[in-house]
């Protein structure tokens, strides 16, 4: 997908600090971390714009992301807990229109993000 920053990260065109990668997903450290540990997990394939575009045809990758999150979190030392966030749309502050989930942790996070 042209001009999609996360598609560019997925192919290495934009450098990132990779926390986890396999054939279909990638996790990289957020450039503006909102917690001591803040990683963004994406499908390598573009799913625009995000949560609202998840369908029966593409939800296998979402399942794969959620199956992988516990091991990604463990590898990041988040054994004491973490939060998974998906911003969907303007009111949620979504800035990148490629499906992604934030993993936040490394401190007590409080009641909500």
Q: How far is CA 3 from the centre of its chain?
A: 18
In whole angstroms, what is the distance from residue 111 CA to residue 113 CA?
7
Judged by CB under 6 A, does residue 74 bind ligand AMP? Answer: no
- Among 3, 55, 95, 108, which residue sits at the site for ligand AMP (rule: CB under 6 A)? 95
Given the complex with Zn ion, which of 62 and 78 has the nearer CB atom? 62
- Partner from ligand AMP, Zn ion, none binding residue 98, C-beta < 5-8 Å depending on class: Zn ion
Q: How many CB atoms lie within 10 A of CB 8?
A: 16
Q: Which of 46, 51, 83, 87 binds ligand AMP (CB under 6 A)?
A: 87
- Listing DSSP states for 67-112 in one string gives HHHHHHHHHTT-TT-EEEE---SGGGT----S--EEEEESS---S-
Whole-number minimum distance, CB 106 to ligand AMP, in Å?
15
> Is 98 part of the annotated catalytic residue set?
no
**Nearest CA among 18, 39, 27 for reference residue 106:** 39
Distance CA 78, CA 88 (A): 24
57 binds, among Zn ion, ligand AMP, none (CB under 5 to 8 A by kind): none
- Active-site residue list: 100
Q: Which residues bind ligand AMP (CB under 6 A)?
A: 5, 14, 16, 28, 30-32, 40, 87, 93-96
Q: Which residues bind Zn ion (CB under 5 A)?
A: 1, 4, 6-7, 46, 98
């Amino acid at each position: 997908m042209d001009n999609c920053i996360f598609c560019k990260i997925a192919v290495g065109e934009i450098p990132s600090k990779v926390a986890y990668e396999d054939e279909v997903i990638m996790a990289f450290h957020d450039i503006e971390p909102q917690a001591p540990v803040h990683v963004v997990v994406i499908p390598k394939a573009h799913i625009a714009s995000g949560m609202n575009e998840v369908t029966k045809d593409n939800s296998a990758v979402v399942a794969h992301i959620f199956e992988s999150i516990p091991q990604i979190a463990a590898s990041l030392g988040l054994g004491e807990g973490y939060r998974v966030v998906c911003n969907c749309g303007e009111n949620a502050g979504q800035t990148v229109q490629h499906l992604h989930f934030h993993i936040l942790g490394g401190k007590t996070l409080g009641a909500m993000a």
